[in-house]
Amino acid sequence: MTTTQQRVLIVDDEPPARRHLKGILASDREAVVVGECGNGRDAVGAIEELKPDVVLLDIHMPELNGFDVIAAVGVEQMPSVIFVTAYDEYALRAFDVRALDYVLKPVERERLLSALQRARSYRSDVVQQAATAEQLRELIREVHEKKPAPSRLAVKVDGKHIFVPTDSIDWVQAVDDYVRIHIGHSSYLVRGTLNSFQEQLPAQFLRVHRSAIVNTDKLREASATPQGDYLLTLNDGRRMHSGRSYRGAVTDFLRSFLLNDR
C-alpha cells in the first residue's frame, strides 16, 4: 500500500453487499480496503482504531444505524462519508450538497468510483472539510428532529403497564437482558435492550455509554478528564463516565449546546 492510497472502511450489515463493494474497490488502484464491519457498533470502534480516509456507510443497520455511527464517533472526528443506501428520505434530501455523497443500491461501479474520486478532492481542502463537518452536523440534527417525541412511555412491570412521562426519566441503564429506568429515587426494571429502548426516546436523550442513556435536561455539568472521556453529573448528584465510543457524541452535544446558548 502506498502512502497516497485512499483507505476505505466498508460498513454494511449484508455480507453480499460488502463483497460487492470490495469487488468494485479492487479495480481502483488508488483505494484500499482497510476493514469491514457488519454493524454500527463495530464501525464506531473500527473508525477510531483504523482511522480510514473514507467510510462507505450503510444507513439502515441493526443496533446503531449510519446516523448513530456518526453521532457516536463525533462529527469532527468522522472521516469522509459516502452513504450507501437503497432509498432514504433523509439522505436524498440532505445530500443535495457538494460536500456529501451517497450511492444508491444496487451500487454501480462507475457511480461508486466517482464518489471516491470526489472524496479524494476533499482531503487537502480545509475549507471544504469544515463545510462537510457542518453539513453532517445539520444532517444529524435533522434526523433527530424528525424523531417523534412521545410525552410518556408504557413499560410493563409485574404484569401491568405503567405510563412513565419521558421528561421524568433521569437516565436509563442496561442490565444484562433488561433495562432499568431511573426516575428520582425510584427505578423500573423491564425486559429489553438499551438500543430498542433508545429508539422510543425523544431527542434530548443522549447515549453516553454502551450501558447508559441520559436525559440531557437532567444533566447538571460535564467535565473532560485526562483520559479523554467526560465525567457527567446529573441534577440528583449521580456521576458517570462517558464511554470511549461515545465521547464524540458528548462532545458534539456540548458544542451544539454552547452554540445555541450564545
Are 213 and 200 in contact by the 8 Å Cβ rule? The answer is no
How many CB atoms are closer than 10 A to CB 188?
Answer: 18
**Containing domain of residue 104, as a range?**
6-146
Domain end call among 130, 146, 162: 146
pTM across the whole model: 0.56
Nearest to 105 by CA among 40, 21, 8, 31: 21
Domain end call among 146, 179, 195: 146
Q: Going along the chain, which residue ranges are E strands? A: 6-11, 31-37, 54-58, 80-85, 101-104, 152-157, 160-165, 171-175, 178-183, 186-191, 205-209, 212-215, 219-224, 230-234, 239-241
C-alpha cell at 135: 453539513
Residues 61 and 140 in one domain: yes
Residues 43 and 168 in one domain: no
Q: How many structural domains comprise the chain?
A: 2
The number of residues in the chain equals: 262
pLDDT digit string (tens) for the chain, length 262 residues: 555 789 999 999 999 999 999 999 999 999 999 999 998 888 988 998 999 999 999 988 866 788 888 878 877 788 888 988 876 655 555 554 434 678 888 899 999 999 999 888 776 656 566 666 677 777 666 666 655 556 787 777 777 778 889 999 999 999 988 899 999 988 999 887 787 777 678 878 999 998 999 999 999 999 988 888 899 999 999 999 998 888 888 988 888 766 554 4
Per-residue pLDDT at 99 = 40
Q: Evaluate whether residue 17 is within a structural domain.
A: yes
Per-residue pLDDT at 91 = 55
Residues 161 and 236 in one domain: yes
Q: Evaluate whether residue 69 is within a structural domain.
A: yes
Per-residue pLDDT at 220 = 93
